[in-house]
Structure 1
Amino acid sequence: MRPHGIGFLRPAAFLAPVVLIFVSARAQSQDAAAFFKQNCTSCHTIGGGRLVGPDLKGVAQRQPDRKWLVDFISDPNSKLDAGDPYAAKLLGEARGARMNKVAGINQTIADSLLVLIDAESRLAKSQFAGTQISDRPFTGQDIANGRNIFLGQTRLAAGGAACVSCHSIVGLRSLGGGRLGPDLTKAFERLGGRKGLATWLSAPPTLTMNPVFRNTPLDANAEILPLVAFFQDAAQRGGVADTSTSMFNFLLLGLGGTVVLLILFDLFWLKRFRAVRKPMLLGLDVGGHK
């Protein structure tokens, strides 16, 4: 007599590897989508047009050599520095803006990204078609709101850091802006105008900004739109941030603060405890008089 469970166990044993493969592929696809959203959408779309980098829809048809694509995604500068002609062509189309190596990427992740891009390219509209913000003309109020957000006078809804903490821009007075990041006066032009800059701000890919805004993204219409308006206005005014004046103001404020502190210390020092035994022997009162 055969055990009752054998007939069921055989097909189950056959299906188990299939289920595991399916689950693994699904998890890998989700990981690739999350990685793409966090690290690639600031410069690329899939079917949404060119930003700083090219639209990736149908990239496997434009460059059929899959190994080349995996190598380039894993380490773009190795191809560029080696003088690869196709990499040089991409660099020219990007107006000299190099694609930096993404932190944590390897060839396995690069290959999974290509699988994701192939799948998204077949859709009528990819989830990575780009950030959608209003295309209405900017107003003076938009520019003012963007300036307040930049300076931190209007707090970001998700709690992110103010731009002025790390960046400067033309037109700032007093102490100016931070110096950890670059001057953003030309950011509107450098990142491809309204759409390119808006998409970049939705998921900043740099090693410094990525950890800061990964869990505190900007709101598309309430924060990104005013910031883009402010950056466009700065680019139209031209010039660069005046760091010499802000540095002088910083030194002047530091010197003034030091003088004030020294005066306060001196006033406190006048009221210090002086002595007990010596004044008693000399017959002096508390004020030091006989």
Structure 2
Amino acid sequence: MTDVREFRIEIPDDELVDLRDRLARTRWSVPLPGAGWERGVPTDFLRELADHWATGYDWRAAEAEINAYPQYVTEIDGQRIHFLHVRSGSPDALPLVLLHGWPGSFVEFLDVISALTDPGDPFDLVIPSLPGFGFSAPLSGPGWDSRRMATAIAELMRRLGYRRYGAQGGDFGAFVAPDLGRVDPEHVAGVHVNAATLGFIPYGQVDVSELTPGERTRYDRMQAFLGEGNGYFQIQATRPQTIAHALTDSPAGLLAWIAEKFWSGATAASPTATGCSPTSRCTG
């Protein structure tokens, strides 16, 4: 199957009712006295966030915002691929693939679409949901590593008629984007990455006295990540189906799982951050 079909998000009302009902019936854990974020997401914070999701968040408005952009699905290597395809209208536009990571999604690029497709700096944008994410789920089977994903994206760009394009990726997308340059070097004009957690990896024995100040900062952050922030990765990389049962059944559990990573990412980027509001970014 090589056809590309139009797509719109239309979540049934009964699924939204079920979501609110599940959130309302959440069994909340009893917090450990005196423990803060170092033990995970605080119960009070999560309850406030869940209440906002159930009673204050307007999904239909978000759905309409996303549906304002052209969306499509196609099947590649047995896997359904969902993507936004926003053309600038300029005949000289450079096609650009924007690749998200976890716990992000294609939605994280909505705020940059208008700037990147502006006639003054035109790009044609292709914004996929990576296999296993969003509307490219569920996975067709095991083996979808960054290189296989890159191969599928290269085929997608071929189907769309693009012979030269750039790629940008963050987080896991920062692994897929370079692999895209490797599997399709004749057509990839350039690769840019951000939020590449493993941007500095010292191998073997490390003499920290030989590191530059910038390398020492990254080294210390990596050591802290491996010691305290890597638990989610170990579970998702080794026993994903086990945690999937809990996260699929409990929206509050899924909310905590994702909120903690956004909080830790924000505090890592801003070491002076003192807290978070359920309806805003972490503040310093």
Larger RCO of the pair (alpha carbons < 8 Å, separation 6+): 1
Question: Which structure dedicates a bigger proportion of its chain to strand?
Answer: 2
Question: Which structure dedicates a bigger proportion of its chain to helix?
Answer: 1
Give your verdict on TM over 0.5.
Answer: no
Coarse TM-score class (shorter-chain normalised): under 0.3
Superposition TM-score, scaled by structure 2 size: 0.23
